[in-house]
Structure 1
Amino acid sequence: MDGTHFFELVIAMFLAIIALHYAAHRLGLPPAVALLAGGALLAFLPGLPAITVDPGLVLVIFLPPLLLDGAWSIAVQRLRRHILGIASLAVGAVFFTCAVVAVVAHLIFPSLPWAACAALGAIVSPPDAVSARAVLERVRLPRRLQILLEGESLLNDASGLVLFRLAVAAAATGTFSAVEAAGNFFLLAVGGAIVGGIVGTVWVRFVRLLGDQYLIIAATTLLAWISYLIAEQLHVSGVIATVTTGLIATWHQHTVLSAATRMRGSAFWTVVIFLMEAAVFILIGLSLRDVVERGGGFGTVVATMGLPILAILATLVVARFIWVLASDLVINLCNRLGFARTPPLGAGGAIVLSWVGVRGVVTLALALSLPEGFPGRDFILVTAFAVIVGTVLVQGTTLGRVIAWAGLTEPDSERARLTMSQAEAAMAQAQLATIQSLAYDVDGNLIHPQLLERYKRRAVVIVDYAERTEDYAPTLHAHFDVVLEAVATGRRELIRLHRAGDIDDETLRELERDLDLEELSAISAKA
């Protein structure tokens, strides 16, 4: 395939992404489901060349920016508060699931070497960050569950990658040491954290020097790949390095980035991540053709591998349930014995947490990267794809119902001390104090009376609203509806003046930008 045809395929893929997202919206389906199914259908279109996915390239292109985006948007304070629970899922649950899947696979196929069974377990055990985000963006969870799932999806890929490499090495050498494996995992994680810390610190200092917002956005866009590639070159965890870099960047971005840089960068990055996440699911679907052909066709795959694959899929679900429920029982026991004060998830929370175990691009990439001649390679590859499809289609489409059935509520310990209205009132008081100190000249004469009056009135209104939010909510919504209508009227008049030739393009853009900011502010305040 020449470069032109490849580019045409890329454009066709992005057009398919738009069409499938629209279809998912109209049908009320999770976009991940529509993209995965659409990609699978496209894979078998007559005349379309077979799509061969380079697993190493897929990981390098897609995984770092998606991990950085997850780290950039995560709540760092809650991440630190729940780090033990996240580690239990990202490390403990992955190791436990890998071991259980390996045992079940060996029971089904006694001739399959233990190393190959462990490789299968490592491939399918870590839930995927991209898939988890795609599923979670359509549901609302209590903050504790949200941070546990977000933190797990950021870190568990590192556990899966380490286990996979150890299993492949064990298959090649015929030897395995649990102590050596634990030591390697520790060194990879610590090394990745050190690399990520250095890259993140350099970024904080570097963006202060750049000044130009477009250079800052470009440098931040490259940050994920820089951190990941440096870590991989040093043979430490690129996943941990990228996540660590992202956490440092998100902690400092409020002080090192200007408002304009944040707004423009956020808009650009949102579109990039949207296209990347969608492209991942399309590529997974497109790879179905190659997977089925390797297995000997649909008929052969279903006849020879159907029941074993269902057994592995069921094992994954059950193993995660066992780990999460057992962990919750341990937390409850420790609380009763006085060793800890962490509230347990409860039955509803544990069930929801157990059900969100969606697999994705990392599972497929690891399966595809198995060397030719690896024991059970075709079965592992077909199983990996079936696990992705099964978890996305079944768990992804039913998660909303499971959450509704669980009837989850936000515990008091997870609620912020101040509401948004109270925080806004505190901010308004601080702003008023600054205005009062600057509204007078050195002789005590008031030089900014209108500004002082404006901020005084604003502080009084905001404080009053914070104390009686429910009383003011209907009036506030009506107020901003009027503001939005006024903005729309202003925009129509601006366009009329431009079309009539009374103002030039530069004037149109400048005034329209002011209207856009006013509209966004009104929409945000109304929400």
Structure 2
Amino acid sequence: MGQYVVYMWLLGVIVIVGMAAKKTPAPAPLILVITGMVLSFAPHFSDIRLHPDIVMNIFLPLLVYEASVYLSWPDIKQNLQPIILLSIGHVVFITILVAIAAHALIPGLSWPLALVLGSVISPPDDVAIISIAEKIQIPQKIVTILSGEGLLNDATALIIFRFSLAAALTNEFSAVDAISDFFTVIALESLYGIVLGNILGKIKLQLLDPKIHVLLSILSPFLAYLPAVKLGGCGVIATVVTGFVVSHHYQERFSPEVRLLSRAIWETLGYGLSSVLFLLVGLHFQITLDKIALIPFKQLWLYATVITLIVILGRFAWVFPTTYLPRLLFPSLVKNNLPPWQFPFIVSWSGMRGGISLAAALSVPYLATHIGDTDLRYLIIFLVFCVITATLLLQGISLPWLLEIIGASHIRSREKGDEHLCEFIARSEMTNAVLRWLTDYKAQLKEDRNTLHEVNLQLLEYRALKKRLEEIIHHDDADYHLRKTSKYNAAMFVFAQIIEVERTALIQLWRDGKVTFKIKNKLLEQLDLRSKRYAQSV
């Protein structure tokens, strides 16, 4: 069976797992990793490899850009302190802890290689976290913090990784140079991202064809990432900043067709890439076991257990002190109140690792250092694989019921009520704006009876809508907003049935030869857009 056929089978596996994940509480990344582990023992599938260059130069920029475009910069800015403490401080802290333990445990592992191991497994994977957050009741503030951390922590880890790997290969390392280069990379990549984002945004405003616009959008992360990498940077910061600039300064001026098409394509692309990544992680299970088969099982178990525990418990050791100590020691410098203990607990327990860590480990070249007859490179890969699997299994499965035990799911339920109220208020203000425009426009109409009739109809409809919205907004019961949404869901069901009736009639007209294929597709697209707009409005 050819390789291309195997990859088609992998795509089929992702579709099947995606369908199964909708019906199970287990997160999709976990199911994909386990499925990959099982398939790694099957013929043909065992030959598939996670190529580090493809992951780091194609998957990573696309996933980072997709996340940055659809993440709120005001929310990131509001939670910038914990995000920086996690994306920089936590990565450095875990890197050092893992390096100390690995250097002490593993014979022949030099300090630079220990730092390589630490840097590779220090950053949690935002794709795994967000896919789990979509299925459970994680408070929105925590989702924002974890998403922001996931965007930026790869940059910190990759910079440390490159310096550590260079030190391992050349036996030369300067902490001063490393720190200086680190902040230089952040500053220059941020500047490059701002410039590139504005250039791309202005070009996209001139593009009228949605298809060309989306193609440029897919090219954008590579224009940000690859030049930065070629010049010695990490590329992640430039990609994130470019995505933020385009989405927050230009996206609202794009045409509706562009926004609809872009969102559909990027969501599909992001889901597909992340699914392939987790499936490939599992497919490395068998080859990883083969490479470290000569090391005694007790040693492997000891190494994997200690490193995994350090990664999990070390996050608690970082998050809780950095959350509360600044507020207790310097209350005048901290604007926010003390968060409930559930918040840092959830952040601490949401430290799942993913495919980027394995890709970085696979990019480590063959080493002259061995443990027994095994190259230390394979041991590093094995330990990274163990941490990824253990955190996905342990934390990914337990997080939903832990949220119930500590009462955090109720926080998210209250947030949803507040979000719905905020949505109704926004819709009320939009309705008021329409009513003002209709009233002014009606005053300008004189002899145009057709337009005047249409304006009067719209005035009646929007006045009725305003009345319904004000009734909802001024209701004191917070749960009422959620119940009212359920009522709107019933209305959406009726509307969906109406659209389906129209769609069925249209298809029948086409089959009877009463409309052309082109007209059928045009009207079908209009029905789809109506359905999507109505679903978003309710």
SS at structure 1 position matched to 2:293: coil
Mapped to 1, the partners of 2:508 and 2:362 lie a distance apart of: 57
SS at structure 2 position matched to 1:468: helix
Q: Which residue of 1 aligns with 2:333?
A: 339
Q: Which residue of 1 aligns with 2:275?
A: 278
Q: What is the letter of the counterpart of residue 379 of structure 1?
A: L
- Deviation of 1:462 (Å): 3.1
Whether the 8 Å contact between 2:205 and 2:250 is mirrored in structure 1 is: no
Match of 2:320 among 304, 321, 325: 325
- Deviation of 1:455 (Å): 3.5
Q: Which residue of 1 aligns with 2:512?
A: 500
Mapped to 1, the partners of 2:464 and 2:427 lie a distance apart of: 11
Q: Which residue of 2 aligns with 1:479?
A: 491
Provide, for residues 199-224 of structure 1, a one-character-per-residue CA deviation record: whole Å limited to 9, x for no partner: 11111111122221111011001111
Mapped to 2, the partners of 1:276 and 1:13 lie a distance apart of: 12
Equivalences for residues 248-287 of structure 1 within 5 A: 248-287=245-284
Equivalences for residues 41-190 of structure 1 within 5 A: 41-48=38-45, 50-109=47-106, 111-190=108-187
- Deviation of 1:84 (Å): 1.4
Q: What is the letter of the counterpart of residue 343 of structure 2?
A: G
TM-score after normalising by structure 2: 0.90
Mapped to 1, the partners of 2:235 and 2:211 lie a distance apart of: 26
Whether the 8 Å contact between 1:193 and 1:244 is mirrored in structure 2 is: yes
Mapped to 2, the partners of 1:417 and 1:274 lie a distance apart of: 27
Query: Are residues 1:11 and 2:8 paired?
Result: yes
Q: Which residue of 2 aligns with 1:519?
A: 531
Q: What is the letter of the counterpart of residue 427 of structure 1?
A: M
Q: Which residue of 2 aligns with 1:509?
A: 521
Equivalences for residues 182-201 of structure 1 within 5 A: 182-201=179-198
Query: Are residues 1:205 and 2:202 paired?
Result: yes
TM-score after normalising by structure 1: 0.92
Structure 1: gaps spanning 5 or more residues: none
Whether the 8 Å contact between 1:440 and 1:446 is mirrored in structure 2 is: no
Q: What is the letter of the counterpart of residue 367 of structure 1?
A: A
Whether the 8 Å contact between 1:59 and 1:365 is mirrored in structure 2 is: yes
Whether the 8 Å contact between 2:46 and 2:287 is mirrored in structure 1 is: no
SS at structure 2 position matched to 1:448: helix
Whether the 8 Å contact between 2:29 and 2:131 is mirrored in structure 1 is: yes
SS at structure 2 position matched to 1:338: helix
Provide, for residues 496-526 of structure 1, a one-character-per-residue CA deviation record: whole Å limited to 9, x for no partner: 2222223222332232223222322333344
SS at structure 2 position matched to 1:80: helix
SS at structure 2 position matched to 1:439: helix
Q: Which residue of 1 aligns with 2:29?
A: 32
Q: Which residue of 1 aligns with 2:427?
A: 424
Mapped to 1, the partners of 2:32 and 2:296 lie a distance apart of: 23
Whether the 8 Å contact between 2:46 and 2:286 is mirrored in structure 1 is: no
Structure 2: gaps spanning 5 or more residues: 370-375, 473-479
- Which deviates more from structure 2 when the two are superposed, residues 86-95 or residues 279-288? 279-288
Provide, for residues 4-35 of structure 1, a one-character-per-residue CA deviation record: whole Å limited to 9, x for no partner: 92322221211121122233334442111111
Query: Are residues 1:383 and 2:370 paired?
Result: no
Query: Are residues 1:302 and 2:297 paired?
Result: yes
- Which deviates more from structure 2 when the two are superposed, residues 470-479 or residues 309-318? 470-479
- Taking a change above 3 Å as real, the CA distance of residues 406 and 206 of structure 1, as seen in their structure-2 partners, is same
Whether the 8 Å contact between 1:227 and 1:241 is mirrored in structure 2 is: yes
Whether the 8 Å contact between 1:67 and 1:129 is mirrored in structure 2 is: no
Q: Which residue of 2 aligns with 1:463?
A: 466
Whether the 8 Å contact between 2:358 and 2:385 is mirrored in structure 1 is: yes
SS at structure 1 position matched to 2:336: coil
- Taking a change above 3 Å as real, the CA distance of residues 78 and 48 of structure 1, as seen in their structure-2 partners, is closer
Mapped to 2, the partners of 1:236 and 1:248 lie a distance apart of: 20
- Taking a change above 3 Å as real, the CA distance of residues 436 and 301 of structure 1, as seen in their structure-2 partners, is farther
Query: Are residues 1:367 and 2:361 paired?
Result: yes
Mapped to 1, the partners of 2:66 and 2:457 lie a distance apart of: 38
- Which deviates more from structure 2 when the two are superposed, residues 511-520 or residues 213-222? 511-520
SS at structure 2 position matched to 1:170: helix
Provide, for residues 309-333 of structure 1, a one-character-per-residue CA deviation record: whole Å limited to 9, x for no partner: 1110000011100111111222431
SS at structure 1 position matched to 2:513: coil
Whether the 8 Å contact between 1:422 and 1:463 is mirrored in structure 2 is: no
- Deviation of 1:467 (Å): 2.5
Whether the 8 Å contact between 1:20 and 1:34 is mirrored in structure 2 is: yes
Provide, for residues 158-200 of structure 1, a one-character-per-residue CA deviation record: whole Å limited to 9, x for no partner: 0100111111122233343322221111011112112211211
- Which deviates more from structure 2 when the two are superposed, residues 457-466 or residues 346-355? 457-466
- Deviation of 1:89 (Å): 0.4
- Deviation of 1:446 (Å): 7.2
Which of structure 1's runs of 4+ aligned residues deviate more than 6 A?
414-418, 442-447
